[in-house]
Amino acid sequence: MKSFRTELENPIVEQEILELGQKIALYQSGKIDEDRFKSLRLARGIYGQRQPGVQMIRIKLPYGNLNRRKLLRICEVSDTYATGNLHVTTRQDIQLHFVSLDDTPQLWEELAKDEITLREACGNTVRNVTGSHYAGIHPDEAFDISPYAQKTFEYLVRNPICQEMGRKFKISFSATEADDYYSYIHDLGFIPQIKVIDGQEVKGFKVLIGGGLGAQPNHSELAYDFLPAEEIIPFAESIIRAFDRFGERDRRHKARMKFLIQDLGKDELLRIADEQRLAMPYQTYPIDYYETSYKPLNEAYAFDFSDPVFKTWFDANVFAQKQEGYYAVGLKLHNGDIKTPIARQLVAFLEEIEVDDIRATIQQNMILRFVKGSDVYRLFEKLKSLGLTDVGFEGLSDIVACPGTDTCNLGIASSMGLATRLTEVINTEYPHLAATKDIDIKISGCMNACGQHNLAAIGYQGMTIKVNKKVAPAAQVLLGGNNKGAGAGVFADKVIKVPAKRADESLRWLLDDYYKNREGSENYGEYYARLGKDYFYQLLKPLGDTAAFEDDWYQDWGREIDYVKAIGVGECAGVVVDLTITLIEEANDRLERAVKSLFTDKYSDAIYHTYTAYIHLAKSLLIHTDEKLNTQHNIIAAFDRLMDSEFDWPGGYDSFGELVLSMKKHAPSEEFAKLYLQNAEILKKQVEDHHKVLVNE
């Protein structure tokens, strides 16, 4: 089934770019307040940096999917508007830094020429849909998840059900039961399955819901052992609708779906989600299955491994695909960064060897797929000339790190500086371990866990300590994270906090201890579980002692001045805007969108835009009360309780709740969409009149 959004993609992008330029002008002239403008730009992938006056631009790449043309386009945009650097994130996005706000409409327009979007890469919406970079090439996969990740992205981007949620929402697709894309930490996690039904093989997914990281990591819960593939998009929509209505909106730290499940319980959330089904445009959503086309090779290629450097690199960074004779080549990008001159030369060579399948990975790397065996050595030589043959793709030395205090408002410590130091320690003192997959290291600059430190065998979280009345950078050491596969995983324990300048020593002690005392082939997570937290606390305890604190320990890694704690206002999840007049304006905007959707026969979209307008109108009169307005459910109940005698409910309804929730009782149709919209316009007039009375009292 073709995406119902694809046909309008170009006009929509053109309109959005024009609107962005107009909103920037209104904001700069003082006609739009800071909070409202912030919400608008975040939904367009524009994120305020730690440095004043410049923006980070997040480019959304569904399941990390790239080709030569797209990569060149991103390079051109970075060279023109940013710094000539591409930063790969743990959600398979590419970020550009130090961009002027005035340049963002033109930047977006340039990216759109090659079907690249910024839309909903930030803010309170569905973030980038991640999908395994081994999808379609892994020998153990049930089937290629790429078409399903792509259609999920297409269906949800710009979808009215997920434009103004209480918080962000994350979706992942793993390639195999090994669960390489961590379904257990996502709001929705999918693991592909094949099930025989009535003698036929049916594609489907194991589905997990409600996972998350941050300060309170939470393991997801199993929703389905097997959900047929044509039902995953309707299920995703129903869950998002339920989250939008019942999810927390005031307390940002409680606004993820994991907390909603804790409040309601999984079964109740699934029941509420099922209630949404009648109002949805599709009860099933078949997805055309396809796999990447390739030219079959006659036989496997026999490699010459007489060059030991090539052999070491091959063993660590090259993956044999399920397609005979083809290989995937991993590029280990330090701190997720690749400069545009290097990327351009790489693209030129990939054109020579006819490789056009590139994926960004959640380990902040890139992988080149469908490389013919006969071209692997030539590619190795080219990569070596570009400095891209560092050994250890997805190994110990492949350290994941968020931007931290380099650019992020919320950064407490220098994640990238620490990652650079730990990489030096491994490469110089433990080079024989660089490629081992027994241990992984992840670093976050704060508790929000963008570097996914909670998942790692060895994790570090940026913190501070006070020594001699001065603040110094520190690192919380976490140990024992372990992905068990099949949707199960163990989060790392917080073990001890050490000065940042002793974190490198902690790594030495941990590695030496592990390789001296482990039993058999147990990985680090298993080793940690066997010995227990106190063993490692006692091991590292001397490093936490600050009695002999040295002067340079007041400086973070990669810094030459003493540490100063400076945390800005985070923008990861947008803002709460609740001024009466602003909410009425937001309702007007939603009603205008509903009209546009009606003109294009998108009745479900029109209904949901109208529903959101009802919520804004109700909240506009409730914000001056003492009512708890942290969910849409509470807003509806409070409006009925306080305002019932003040309004004549249009359409013959007996209450606001009955009016606004009537959408659950009707399949989306032109007749109902028009009626629902007409009733909202009548209610809006009453709300505006009521507001005038309040102002004049």
Q: Which of 38-52, 69-83, 109-123 has the highest mean pLDDT?
A: 69-83
Does residue 534 lie within any of the structural domains?
A: yes
Which pLDDT belongs to residue 574? 42
Which pLDDT belongs to residue 203? 98
**Which residue range is the domain that position 665 belongs to?**
580-696
Residue 660 and residue 524 share a domain: no
Does residue 484 lie within any of the structural domains?
A: yes
Helix axes 524-531, 503-517, angle to 10 degrees: 80
Does pLDDT of 235 surpass 80?
yes
Q: What is the DSSP letter of 13?
A: H
Residue 312 and residue 353 share a domain: yes
Residue 258 and residue 162 share a domain: yes
Q: Which helix (H) or strand (E) holds 421?
A: helix 415-429
pLDDT class of 389 with cuts at 50, 70, 90: very high
Alpha-carbon separation of residue 101 from 24, 97, 114, 406, 672 (angstroms): 8, 11, 22, 19, 41
pLDDT class of 647 with cuts at 50, 70, 90: confident
Residue 443 and residue 509 share a domain: yes
Does residue 11 lie within any of the structural domains?
A: yes
The percent of residues in the chain predicted with pLDDT above 90, rounded, is 75
Residue 470 and residue 456 share a domain: yes
From 340, 355, 385, the end of a domain falls on 385
Does pLDDT of 153 surpass 50?
yes
Alpha-carbon separation of residue 609 from 238, 439, 445, 522 (angstroms): 16, 48, 37, 53
Alpha-carbon separation of residue 661 from 581, 590, 616 (angstroms): 24, 17, 14
Least confident residue range of 171-175, 652-656, 686-690: 686-690
Which pLDDT belongs to residue 571? 59
Which pLDDT belongs to residue 696? 54
CATH number at residue 176: 3.30.413.10
Does residue 187 lie within any of the structural domains?
A: yes
DSSP structure string for 100-147: -GGGHHHHHHHHHTTT-B-TTSSSSSB---EE-TTTTT-TT-SS--HH
Which pLDDT belongs to residue 601? 94
Q: With beta carbons less than 8 A apart as the criterion, state whether 460 and 495 touch.
A: no
Which pLDDT belongs to residue 565? 65
d(CA 84, CA 552): 32
Residue 274 and residue 199 share a domain: yes
Which pLDDT belongs to residue 252? 78
The values of phi and psi at residue 692, to 5°, are: -60, -40
CATH number at residue 25: 3.90.480.20
From 123, 157, 186, the end of a domain falls on 123
Which pLDDT belongs to residue 600? 92
Does pLDDT of 695 surpass 60?
no
Q: With beta carbons less than 8 A apart as the criterion, state whether 451 and 445 touch.
A: yes
Does pLDDT of 361 surpass 90?
yes
From 77, 106, 123, the end of a domain falls on 123
Q: With beta carbons less than 8 A apart as the criterion, state whether 190 and 236 touch.
A: no
Average pLDDT on 291-300 reads 87
Which pLDDT belongs to residue 568? 53
Residue 108 and residue 137 share a domain: no
Neighbours of 494 (CB within 10 A): 16
Which pLDDT belongs to residue 440? 97
Residue 266 and residue 345 share a domain: no
The residue that leads in pLDDT, 240 or 572, is 240
Which pLDDT belongs to residue 10? 60
Average pLDDT, rounded, for the chain: 91
Residue 591 and residue 530 share a domain: no
Report how many domains make up the chain: 5
Does residue 571 lie within any of the structural domains?
A: no
Which pLDDT belongs to residue 694? 60
Sign, Cα dihedral of 546, 547, 549, 554: positive
Residue 544 and residue 411 share a domain: yes
d(CA 39, CA 36): 5
CATH number at residue 664: 1.20.120
3-state secondary structure string, 205-234?
EEEEECCECCCCCECCEEEEEEEEHHHHHH
The percent of residues in the chain predicted with pLDDT above 70, rounded, is 96
Residue indicated by tokens 């819901």:
209
Average pLDDT on 216-245 reads 96
Average pLDDT on 435-444 reads 96
Which pLDDT belongs to residue 42? 85
The values of phi and psi at residue 205, to 5°, are: -145, 140
Does residue 564 lie within any of the structural domains?
A: no
Q: What is the pLDDT of residues 316-354, one digit of tens each?
A: 999 999 999 999 999 999 999 999 999 999 999 999 999
Does residue 559 lie within any of the structural domains?
A: no
Q: What is the pLDDT of residues 192-216, one digit of tens each?
A: 999 999 999 999 999 999 999 988 8
Does pLDDT of 7 surpass 60?
no
Residue 496 and residue 463 share a domain: yes
Q: What is the pLDDT of residues 536-589, one digit of tens each?
A: 999 999 999 998 888 888 888 888 777 676 655 555 544 433 357 778 888 998
The residue that leads in pLDDT, 81 or 34, is 81
Does residue 140 lie within any of the structural domains?
A: yes
Q: What is the pLDDT of residues 512-521, one digit of tens each?
A: 999 999 999 9
Q: Which of 34-48, 144-158, 569-583 has the highest mean pLDDT?
A: 144-158
Does pLDDT of 409 surpass 80?
no
d(CA 98, CA 684): 42
Residue 638 and residue 521 share a domain: no
Which pLDDT belongs to residue 411? 80
Per the structure block, which two tokens stand in for 589?
Answer: 């905007």
